[in-house]
Amino acid sequence: MKLTINNLTKTYKNGVKAIDDLSLEIGTGMFGLLGPNGAGKSSLMRTIATLQSPDSGSIMFNDIDVLKDQMSLRKILGYLPQSFGVYPKMSAEDLLDYFASLKGVSSKTDREKLVKEVLEITNLYDVRKKHVAGYSGGMKQRFGIAQLLLNNPKLIVVDEPTAGLDPAERNRFLNVLREVGTNCTVIFSTHIVDDVKELCNEMAILNGGRILKHITPIEATKGIEGVIWTKIIERDDLETMEANYNVLSSNYNQDNTLNIRVYSNHLAFRESKIPSPKLSY
């Protein structure tokens, strides 16, 4: 399987060039698209998912010309947008059954079999009777995967699915994606380096609508060795840390401490007056 993007460009009406002469080749397996806010991740993904047209360039998925033959692509596409909107007060099972009938599965027995299958893959079978509206963030994201699996997609595009998930939910989600991604092409975007490190055989770094690097995660993390550090701090120390260091992210732990990620020259950070500099990558 191969997705080939050539010289793709998109400028929005307000003059922002969100995709800038971008070319990329993606094969079978998990592909990570890493980039900061505004890099153009969602723009690129919506274009691949045929929801918006570029100004120029081409996209081929195997022998489908994506921009010309949108219907053929949609049949084999599974897309999970960055925000999925509001869920009705329906159980996961009923909602999936409804989606399956919209997708043209007319036999009730076939739908039941299919719905059970996708609930099991996404580990939602035990909570299938609960309303999706009441699901946790991680469960909702797994439900998003369940719905896109209904038409047995060959190309799966998921836009920042791990944003806002706590570590346990994030792991559960990534495991589901890993299982799904064994025999199709999965492109997922994130701004968390660890997501791609743990999951992908290939990745690209996107910024300003351009591909900065197309490499393996191992090569990518080598580049940041020695400059990105994580540290556990007390909640009250965050302000001091932010004032003194380039804090890239902070996450709450259950015991009310914080996990922070810092961009810093090793020695400068070690010699700081911060208590117990227990540092690791």
- 32, 40, 153, 181: residue in contact with ligand ATP (rule CB under 6 A): 40
- As given in the structure block, the two tokens for residue 249 are 């992210």
What is the identity of the amino acid at 4?
Answer: T
16 is a site residue for ligand ATP (CB under 6 A): yes
Q: Which stretch binds Mg ion (CB under 5 A): 34-42, 102-110, 180-188, 210-218?
A: 34-42
35 is a site residue for ligand ATP (CB under 6 A): yes
Please state the closest distance from residue 189 (CB atom) to Mg ion, in A.
Answer: 7
- 7, 12, 69, 226: residue in contact with ligand ATP (rule CB under 6 A): 12
How far apart, in whole angstroms, are the C-alpha atoms of residue 268 and residue 270? 6
162 is a site residue for ligand ATP (CB under 6 A): no
Let me know the angle formed at the C-alpha of 24 by 20 and 30, rounded to the nearest 5 degrees.
Answer: 125
- As given in the structure block, the two tokens for residue 69 are 């033959």
18 is a site residue for ligand ATP (CB under 6 A): yes
Q: For residues 132-156, b (16+ Cβ closer than 10 Å) or e, as one string?
A: beebeebbbbbbbbbbbbbbebbbb
Q: For residues 78-97, b (16+ Cβ closer than 10 Å) or e, as one string?
A: bbbbeeeeeeeeeebbebbb
- 5, 43, 145, 260: residue in contact with ligand ATP (rule CB under 6 A): 43
Binds 161, which of Mg ion, ligand ATP, none (CB < 5 to 8 A, cut-off by type)?
A: none
42 is a site residue for Mg ion (CB under 5 A): yes
38 is a site residue for ligand ATP (CB under 6 A): yes
Helix, strand and coil content of the chain, in percent to the nearest 5, comes to 35, 30, 35
Please state the closest distance from residue 39 (CB atom) to Mg ion, in A.
Answer: 8
DSSP H helical ranges for the chain: 41-48, 70-75, 92-102, 108-121, 137-149, 167-180, 193-199, 217-224, 238-244, 266-270
172 and 135 Cβ atoms separated by less than 8 Å: no
Please state the closest distance from residue 174 (CB atom) to Mg ion, in A.
Answer: 19
- 5, 24, 31, 42: residue in contact with ligand ATP (rule CB under 6 A): 42
Whose Cβ is closer to Mg ion: residue 18's or residue 64's? 18
Whose Cβ is closer to ligand ATP: residue 38's or residue 134's? 38
50 is a site residue for ligand ATP (CB under 6 A): no
Please state the closest distance from residue 60 (CB atom) to ligand ATP, in A.
Answer: 21
Site for ligand ATP in 79-108 (CB under 6 A): 82
The helices-and-strands tally (H runs, E runs) of the chain is 10, 13
26 is a site residue for ligand ATP (CB under 6 A): no
Whose Cβ is closer to ligand ATP: residue 114's or residue 206's? 206
Q: How many CB atoms lie within 10 A of CB 266?
A: 12
60 pairs with which residues across the strands? 4, 65
Residues making contact with ligand ATP (CB under 6 A) = 12, 14, 16, 18, 35, 37-43, 82
